Amino acid sequence: MRRGLAEGASEPMLCPEYCMHSHTETSFNAADPLQARASNTDAADSPQRTTPLTIRSLAKMMRSGQRIACLTCYDATTARWLERAGIELLLVGDTAGEMVLGFPSTVHTPLDFLITLTAGVKRGAPSTLVMADMPFLSYQADDAEGVRNAGRFMTEGMADLVKVEADRSFAPLVARMSRAGIPVVAHIGSRPQLSKQQGGYSAAGKSCVDALALLDDARALVDAGAQLLLVEATPAEVAEQLVRESPVPVIGCGAGPACHGQVIVLQDLLGLTAWQPAFALPAIDFGPQLLAAARGWMHRVRANDLGPHPYTMSDAQRIAFAAAAEARTTHPAGSGGTT
């Protein structure tokens, strides 16, 4: 998934962003400071989840008209907060290559790296659906290799769903994955892994012919077994028709309000990016807050203002250590003295 693009842009607008301790419990623990802080923040709007979500949960939300909220996530700590917020679906996108590793595009994102991140996110949010993202050339070269790699996301990465950028030509692969028991998300519309081939990022379905082709892609992939669709960067009219025709939930990324759910990059939502697409305007301006916190820490270090020290010795051990330290000072190592 790409962060989006300016209308008419042919090249990516690159930004420097693009989303454990012993905190692995799944039930609420008032002694956990993260849970205590979360419980005091809009608790009525985001009650603690008591049972894990499944694909059936998303289908039920679709039927009832309840929108599905999805965000990108790349680490366990953030995943814990997003689960407590009530987010239903987390995408460990191949954009982690840009966000975390600093690559210029998603095509450089390593497979093993994404599998590791996916497992971390699932450990952080065990009751939330986690969608893995198959990176460039992890499934395009050979169907059998694609099935094996998708299986690794399920076993090693603990993913609940596996996403592939696809058109109808990938229907046989989706069928093989589905036959193997892998829940597939078909990513249609704008497909960032093709950006080099297409000379940049662009919207999809902007002509009648292209829009109908996109709808045919969706139908073929769902018929092959895809259990979710993710449609990126399309006109709203196209997404509306897609939703009318689709028997499975449709998640939009810059595809208009008709979709059953929406996904954006978390760093955009937090205002950490230098530029945000129009469909992912920030909810807060967290960048300056992060800057202020870092500068505050720097000033505390300079002033040696670290607060009370939490680790102490017993009186007996303190006396013994003082004597031993004095002996070391009086007779330093290598001085030839005796004790």
Token pair 């609420």 is at which residue?
Answer: 28
Q: Are strands 161-165 and 261-264 parallel, antiparallel or unpaired?
A: unpaired
Q: Look at residue 10 in the predicted model and tell me its pLDDT.
A: 39
Q: Look at residue 39 in the predicted model and tell me its pLDDT.
A: 52
Q: Which of 17, 83, 98, 232 is catalytic?
A: 232
**Burial bucket for residue 170 (CB in 10 Å: 0-12, 13-18, 19+):** buried
- Structural domains present in the chain: 33-285 (3.20.20.60), 292-330 (no CATH)
Q: What CA–CA distance (Å, rounded) separates 167 from 108?
A: 21
Q: Which amino acid, residue 44? A: A
Contacts 24+ apart (CB under 8 A), 277-283: 277/3, 277/4, 277/5, 277/6, 278/4, 279/4, 279/253, 279/254, 280/3, 280/4, 280/254
Q: Look at residue 2 in the predicted model and tell me its pLDDT.
A: 59
Q: Look at residue 338 in the predicted model and tell me its pLDDT.
A: 52
Q: What CA–CA distance (Å, rounded) separates 198 from 233?
A: 15
Question: pLDDT tens digits, residue range 103-127?
Answer: 988 999 999 999 999 999 999 999 9
Q: Look at residue 19 in the predicted model and tell me its pLDDT.
A: 34
Q: Look at residue 201 in the predicted model and tell me its pLDDT.
A: 82
Number of Cβ atoms within 10 Å of the Cβ of 330: 10
Token pair 């607008």 is at which residue?
Answer: 13
Give, in order, the Cα–Cα distances in Å from 53 to each of 23, 50, 127.
20, 9, 6
Active site residue 232: yes
Q: Look at residue 151 in the predicted model and tell me its pLDDT.
A: 98
Q: Look at residue 150 in the predicted model and tell me its pLDDT.
A: 98
Alpha-carbon dihedral of residues 105, 106, 109, 113, nearest 10 degrees?
120
Q: Look at residue 22 in the predicted model and tell me its pLDDT.
A: 36
Per-residue tokens: 48: 């603690």
Q: Look at residue 18 in the predicted model and tell me its pLDDT.
A: 33
E strands, 100-255, are 129-133, 161-165, 184-189, 228-232, 250-253
Q: Strand pairing partners for 131?
A: 91, 161
| pLDDT values of the chain reduced to their tens digit, one per residue, 339 residues | 655 544 444 333 333 333 333 333 333 343 455 555 555 555 445 567 779 999 999 999 999 999 999 999 999 999 999 999 999 999 999 999 988 898 988 999 999 999 999 999 999 999 999 999 999 999 999 999 999 999 999 999 999 999 999 999 999 999 999 999 999 999 999 999 998 888 888 899 999 999 999 999 999 999 999 999 999 999 999 999 999 999 999 999 999 999 999 999 998 899 988 888 889 999 999 999 999 999 999 999 999 999 999 999 999 999 999 999 999 988 777 665 554
